[in-house]
Amino acid sequence: MKYIIDASEIPWREAPPPYSRFAKAIYSGIENPGGAQISLGIFRFKPGKYSAPHVHDNEVEIYFTTAGRGKVVIGGRDYEVKPGTIAYIPPGVEHQPVNDGDGDWEFLAIFSPAVNMDFIKEWDPGNP
3-class secondary-structure state, position 23: strand
Q: Is the pLDDT of residue 65 over 70?
A: yes
Residue 125 DSSP symbol: E
Tell me the CATH number for domain 21-117: 2.60.120.10
Q: In 3-state terms, what secondary structure has residue 88?
A: strand
Q: In a 3-state reduction of DSSP, which class is residue 114?
A: coil
Q: What is the pLDDT of residues 17-29, one digit of tens each?
A: 988 899 999 887 6
End-to-end CA distance of the chain: 30
CB 43 within 8 A of CB 98: no
Read off the pTM. Answer: 0.92
Q: Around Cβ 86, how many Cβ atoms within 10 Å?
A: 12
